[in-house]
Amino acid sequence: MILEIIEPKENFTYNNPSIKVSGKTSAYAEVYVNDIQTKADEKGYFSLNYNLDEGENLLTITANNQDGNYAEKEITVILQTQE
């Protein structure tokens, strides 16, 4: 099962806590970003808004489909709102 993360990129630093997490997996797969759930569309694309905490944030992105297939990726991003 594929799981491709389009955004965010690994170790990217943001100055706004609200980011978009998007990617591609199997059609209609259930996708979780940490504890937030969404569902992929008929082409496998998914997207959701995620709120970061100040400092380093580990995003665990998992996808699974009705056949029991499973994929997982981890990405670390940074929120730095202070100079």
CATH at 33:
2.60.40.10
What band does 82 get if pLDDT is binned at 50, 70 and 90? Answer: confident
What band does 76 get if pLDDT is binned at 50, 70 and 90? Answer: very high
Number of domains in the chain: 1
Global confidence as pTM: 0.92
Q: Which domain holds residue 33?
A: 4-79
**Which pLDDT tens digit goes with each residue over 21-52?**
999 999 999 999 999 999 999 999 999 999 99
* Out of 43-52, 55-64, 74-83, least confident range: 74-83
What DSSP string runs through the chain? ---EEEESPTT-EESSSEEEEEEE-STT-EEEETTEEEE--TTSEEEEEEEPPSEEEEEEEEEE-TT--EEEEEEEEEE----
